[in-house]
Each structure stands twice: as structure tokens, then as C-alpha cells.
Amino acid sequence: MADESQKQTSLHCLFYWAKTTPDKVYLTQPFQDGSTEDITWKQASDQVLRMAAYLKAQQYPERSNIAILGKNSAHWILSDLAIWAAGHVSVPLYPTLNGDTAGYVLEHSEAKLLFLGKLDGKADGWNDIKGHLPDDLPIVSLPMSPRDDTPKWVELIEHYEPIDPQLPEPDDLATIVYTSGSTGRPKGVMHSFRTMIAAADGLQKIFPVTNEERMLSYLPLAHVAERAAVETQSLYYGFHLYFANSLDTFQEDLQRARPTLFFSVPRLWMKFYLAINSKLPPKKQKVLFNIPLLNRLVKKKVLKQLGLEHCRAALTGAAPLSSDIIGWYRNLGLELLEVYGMSENFGYSHANRPGQAKVGTVGVTNPGVEHRLAEGEEVQVRSPSQMLGYFKNEEKTREDITEDGFLKTGDMGEIDADGYLRITGRVKDLFKTSKGKYVVPVPIENRFNHPKAEVVCVAGANQPQPCLMILLSEEAREELESGGSREELEQELAAELDEVNAACEAHEKLAFAVVVKEPWTMENGMLTPTMKIKRNVLENYYNSKMDDWFSQKKKIVWEF
């Protein structure tokens, strides 16, 4: 790998690989017509410097904020790099934002220009966002942009000659990441080039990564998890990055990439698990996995079907994942490792190490990271990737960072004798029943593991007892719609409920479970872009129905 002076920032890394491995493919982009485009390191560098020339020609003030809106694509990353090469700051927007929030981010960040990328208005917020774009905001359309009436990337890079890059200093502001936020307006988290690259630099101390790796980029690049695990790592280590085309082609995209490293969030690990269960029921799995010789073949076939047979390290983060599900993957031969981080520390905080994982924990501190438990068992972390602060919000910065430099995470936790951290819930997620008893939802949710339940949420503030809301998997919903037995499923859910309650304190016991009708998605605002449930949204949505559900006095309530 390069010496320190050659990898000070992600932009330095681009030019290092363009010089040392110019013809090696860096980015592979699929298109709707089934075609793909490969972009080498040399081509990536050339396009970045040509677009930087265009940005320079606009004569924006130094360190201007420039926005990027679109689903993940090769040109999303090239835009990010071009913004930096022109001496500016990138401001990514989630493609699933509603129009009002997108308008707020563009206004609050004082964005001078918008790179508009891959959007179609089907599984994103474009139809709402387009009406909230400022009339005077210049737009450059990337490939697959929904607009064809603006300057286009492909035309601009033909017109402009590459310039000498404006290489940043490590402590320069690089990006402002607006948190997805489950409540209120999003906050602009400011990261420098140093805080971003520190995540990659720290990883090399705990896990061997080379320029021969392959990763698939599909979680929102606007979120620090994908930015840290995929964009920054690929630039630092110089490996091949593939992109997903659409949800419908995801398996095909995985097969194309054959990732050696894979990062996902609990909701998707659960979806993969449920998809396999729909084809190979758990009872049959149990039989096949216990047959000598045959079990290896079956497990290998399952991993191949998932597109993960080449994966030597798989990470899960952003929210808790049941120990049972992690155990299922590990039984297949995929060492699923829980990691932990926040937007405010660029996702660089804690990780389980290969061969040293403790299932149910998020691992130990990463190199250079310190942690402690404060009042109320709140986890506090000090990381080399810690933010510079919140953009135009010094008061909130002072509120969230202690005087001695620790970030107040808002997460509750436990640290064992070996330094492994277990996240036990969110401080703000606690709620009181009408009996005045506090309930911590996450541990209860993690114990409910029915194979047809995609995601669950414990609720019941100001009610006599908590209850559980269950969103069935898509396969389970389709099975019911086509005549599957509701009674049989109800019995199974009731049995699972009894098992969960057996491990609960009296005040935590779930009065009933509700099988909800409305899917929880990013589009309807019930999930964050990293697919965490928005508790306050769910509670507000279902609050008016609680009294009726309690009055039914049933163990399983059906909303449909």
C-alpha cells in the first residue's frame, strides 16, 4: 500500500491507484437494459478531473457546499471525488427523502449546485422531491438522472480538459452528512478528510484487506455506513466496487459481484433468511444440516444461492440482529460479525473480530477508540473518526459532545470483563406503562424470532402492559393471500409469544401481538434509510387503535 503521504485523503487514494494500477477496473455499473459499464482507475481519475474543471469554471467560493442526490451508482462516487478535487464540500441527500426534508437540506446546507443521479420515482422520493428543488439551483445530471433538460455529466467531461487537482489537507471539511433522524429536522454532521480516512486506516490493523477484494454497493451512499464500509474502503485499498441495478435484480447483481466482503443491515439479513426459509423450510434445513457429508453441500448451495459463497467477511450493523439469526448464518459457514458506529463517528467505533466474535455483542473498541458507560448506562465513545460538529448548530454539538471529548451516543449498553459491548436499547426508546413501570423494547424484540416475522416493534406507552406489533414477511403475506392457513400461523405466533414472555419480568410481559396490515417502508416514513424502525412514527400511527386491541383480549390480533 502507499506510504502515508500518498493516502492522506480519499482523493489522494484515487490518484495513487490511477498511477499504480491505471488499467484495473475500479467501478462496474449495471443499467436497466442489462448492459454494464466498467470504469478503470485511470478513467475514474480522468472523469473526476474533467468535472472538477467544470466546477472550477463556475467560480463558486472556496469550500462551497455541493449536493448529490441519487441512488448508488459509479457516478455518485465520481461526483463526490470531483467536488473534492475542485476544492469544495459534498452534501449527500437520501434518495428516499420527502420533498420537504430535501428542500430543507438544500437550503440549510446552502448548496450551490446539485448532482442529480439515478432516480425513477418508483422506489425513491423523486416525485415529491422534484417540486421542492429551488428554481435557481444549478443541476448537473448524472447517467440515469430523471432530468434531461440540464447539463449532463457525459457531455461536460467531453467539453472540459482535466485540471490539476486541488488536493485537500487532512483536516479540511470534506462532507456534511445529514442524519436520517427518527424525529425532527435532520442534523448536518461535519466530517473532515482525516475523520473519514481514519476508519479505513484503523481497519487494516484488525482485518487483512487487499486490492483484490470485491464489494457490492447498494445501501444508501448518503449514509455514513456505506460511505465508510464501501466508498472509503474501496478508495483506500484499491479494490473492485460493483453496484446493484434494482431490487428486482439484486440476486443477479450479487452473482455478478461475487463479493468477498459484504456489509448489510439487520432488515436485509432477515429478508435473506426468510427467502431461504420459503424455499427450504426450517424443519427440512434441520434434517439436511445434520446429515454427514450432505450438510456441507447443502450449506454451500444455500450460500451460492445468496451470492455469498466467496464472502470471507460479512458485517451487520445499524441496528440489533437476533442472536438466533446470526447463529443461523454462522452455521452456514458465513462468519457474520456485528459492528457498531454512528453518523457522528463515521461508523468507526466497535467491531467483532474474525474468530473472536461474541454473538449478541457489537465487539470491542476499534484501534484508537475509547468507550465508557455514563449515567443511565449510556454508551459514550471517543473515536479518531469523530465529527467536527453539527453544521450551523454549535448548541447541539456542545450538547452531544462531553467536555472531555466523548460522544453521547444515546444508546444504552453493557461492557463485559473482556471489553465487549452489548447494546441494550436506546435511552429515548424507554417508555412507561400506565402502572409506572419502564419497558426497554429492544431486548424483548430480539427474543421474538418467528421465521415468518420480518420485523417487530414493542409498544404500549401508558397502557397496562406492552404489546408487540408484527410485520409479516412478504412471502408470508403472499401465502396468506393465496389461501394459507391463518389459524396455523396464529398458533405458531402465540407459541412464540409465550416463549418470549417466559423470559420477561412481570411488567414487561406482552399482553398480545398484532399482525399489522401496512408494510413498514422508507417510502411511507416508517423506516429510516438504514431500515431501522421509526418508533415515534409507528407509535403515532397505531396509537388510536391501541384501546380497541386491548379490549379484544386476544393473544393474537389481526389488523386485516
pLDDT digits (tens, 9 = 90+) for 472-512: 988 889 889 888 889 999 999 999 999 999 999 888 999 99
Q: Which residues contact 95 (CB under 8 A, 6 or more apart)?
A: 69, 70, 71, 118, 119, 124, 125, 126, 220, 222
Quick count: other Cβ atoms within 10 Å of Cβ 365?
A: 20
Q: pLDDT at position 208, please?
A: 85
Do the beta carbons of residue 254 and residue 308 sit within 8 Å? Answer: yes
Q: How confident is the model at residue 3, as a pLDDT?
A: 56
Output the nine-digit C-alpha cell for 505: 419480568
How many Cβ atoms from other residues are within 10 Å of residue 472's Cβ? 22
Cell numbers for 271: 429478508
Coil/strand/helix, residue 514:
strand
Stretch (H or E) spanning 446: helix 441-447
Classify 246 as helix, strand or coil: coil
Q: What is the pLDDT of residues 371-395, one digit of tens each?
A: 999 988 999 999 999 999 999 999 9
Contact 158, 54 (CB under 8 A): no
Give the Cα separation of 263 and 308 in Å (integer): 11
CA Rg value for the chain: 24
Q: What is the DSSP letter of 38?
A: E
Residue 1 has what pLDDT?
Answer: 45
Range from 181-190, 231-240, 531-540 carrying the lowest mean pLDDT: 181-190
CA distance linking residue 279 with residue 267, whole number of Å: 19
Average pLDDT, the chain: 92
DSSP 8-state code for residue 132: G
- In this prediction, residues 294-319 reach a mean pLDDT of 89
Say whether pLDDT at 529 is over 80: no
Cβ-based neighbours of 506, under 8 Å, separated by 6 or more = none
How sure is the predictor about 185, in pLDDT bands with cuts at 50, 70 and 90? confident
CA proximity to 388, closest of 347, 344, 350: 344
Of the listed ranges 65-79, 123-137, 268-282, 341-355, the least confidently predicted one is 268-282
CB 142 within 8 A of CB 70: yes
Of 114, 109, 98, which Cα lies nearest the Cα of 181? 98
* pLDDT for res 203: 85
Q: What is the pLDDT of residues 405-434, one digit of tens each?
A: 999 999 999 999 999 999 988 888 888 888
**pLDDT (tens digit, 9 = 90+) per residue, 28-73?**
999 989 899 999 999 999 999 999 999 999 999 999 999 999 999 9
CB 425 within 8 A of CB 443: yes
Supply the DSSP string of 376-429, one letter for each residue: GGEEEEE-TT--SEETT-HHHHHHHB-TTS-EEEEEEEEE-TT--EEEEEEGGG
Give the model confidence (pLDDT) of 391-401 as tens digits: 999 999 999 99
Domain architecture of the chain: domains with CATH = 4-25+38-236 (3.40.50.980), 243-427 (3.40.50.12780), 430-558 (3.30.300.30)
**Are the beta carbons of 51 and 82 closer than 8 angstroms?**
yes
154-170 pLDDT, tens digit per residue, is: 999 999 999 998 899 99
Each residue's pLDDT tens digit, 73-101: 999 999 999 999 999 999 999 998 889 99
Question: Within a 10 A sphere around the Cβ of 282, how many other Cβ atoms?
Answer: 12
- 505-518 confidence digits (pLDDT tens): 888 999 999 999 99
Pairwise CA distance, residues 46 & 164, whole Å: 11
Q: Mean pLDDT across the stretch 97-111? A: 94
d(CA 319, CA 299): 26
Residue 69's DSSP bridge partners are 93, 116
- The residue among 498, 506, 515, 512 whose CA lies nearest residue 552 is 512
Answer whether residue 178 shows pLDDT above 90: yes
Torsion over CA: 149, 155, 157, 160 (sign) = negative
pLDDT (tens digit per residue) in 262-277: 999 888 898 888 888 8
Q: Three-state secondary structure along 180-209? A: CCCCCCCCEEEEEHHHHHHHHHHHCCCCCC
**What integer is the mean pLDDT of 126-145?**
96
Q: In what order do the strands lie in the sheet with 114-116?
A: 139-141, 114-116, 65-69, 89-93, 173-178, 188-192, 389-390
Cell of 160: 472540459
Longest Cα separation, the chain: 72
**In this structure, what is the dihedral angle of CA atoms 317, 318, 321, 327, given to the nearest 10 degrees?**
0
Residue 31 CA to residue 150 CA, distance in Å, equals 21
What is the model's pLDDT at position 6?
Answer: 82
